[in-house]
Structure 1
Amino acid sequence: MDAALRTLLDGLYADGTTHDEAQPDRLRRRRNLEPGSAELLTLVLRVAGARDVVEIGTSNAYSAIWLADAVRDTGGHVLTVDVEEWPGAAENLARAGVEAVVDRRLGDGGELLAGLPDASVDLLFLDAERVEYPNWWPHPVRVLRPGAVLAVDNVLSHPDEVAPFLALVEKHGGFESTTATVGKGLYLAWYRP
Structure 2
Amino acid sequence: MTAFTPQIQSVLEHYELRMLEEQFRMQQLSPEEGMAKRDDFLLPVGKAGAEFIHSMILAANAQKVLEIGTSYGYSTLWLADAVTHTNGKVTTIEINVEKSNYAEHQMQKAQLSDYIDFVCSDVLQYLTTDHQPYDLVFIDVWKELYVPSIKLLIDQLPVGAYIIADNIIHPSHHKEDAEAYREYIHSTQQFESVLLPIGSGLEVSRKIK
Q: Structure 1 pair 187/14, CA: closer, same or farther in 2 (3 Å)?
A: farther
1:59 is matched with: 71
Partner residue of 1:115 out of 116, 123, 129: 129
1:97 is matched with: 111
The Cα RMSD (Å) is: 1.8
Residues of 1 paired with 2:122 and 2:23: CA distance? 23
2:169–2:178 contact (8 Å) kept in structure 1: no
Deviation of 1:176 (Å): 1.3
Partner residue of 1:15 out of 14, 18, 32: 18
1:43 is matched with: 55
Amino acid at match of 2:4: D
Matched ranges for 1:29-178 at <5 A: 29-85=41-97, 86=99, 88-117=102-131, 120-158=133-171, 159-178=175-194
For structure 1, the 5+ residue unaligned runs are none
Q: Structure 1 pair 17/58, CA: closer, same or farther in 2 (3 Å)?
A: farther
Q: Identify the structure with the greater strand proportion.
A: 1
Residues of 1 paired with 2:68 and 2:196: CA distance? 20
Structure 1 stretches of 4+ with a deviation exceeding 4 A read none
Deviation of 1:135 (Å): 2.8
- SS of the residue corresponding to residue 85 of structure 2 reads helix
- SS of the residue corresponding to residue 30 of structure 1 reads coil
Amino acid at match of 1:107: S
- SS of the residue corresponding to residue 33 of structure 1 reads coil
Partner residue of 1:181 out of 197, 203, 206: 197
Residues of 2 paired with 1:88 and 1:17: CA distance? 18
Instruction: Give the TM-score taking structure 1 as reference length.
Output: 0.91
Q: Structure 1 pair 20/142, CA: closer, same or farther in 2 (3 Å)?
A: farther
1:177–1:190 contact (8 Å) kept in structure 2: yes
Q: Count residues in correspondence.
A: 192
Deviation of 1:7 (Å): 4.3
Deviation of 1:18 (Å): 1.8
2:10–2:110 contact (8 Å) kept in structure 1: no
Deviation of 1:174 (Å): 1.9
- SS of the residue corresponding to residue 58 of structure 1 reads coil
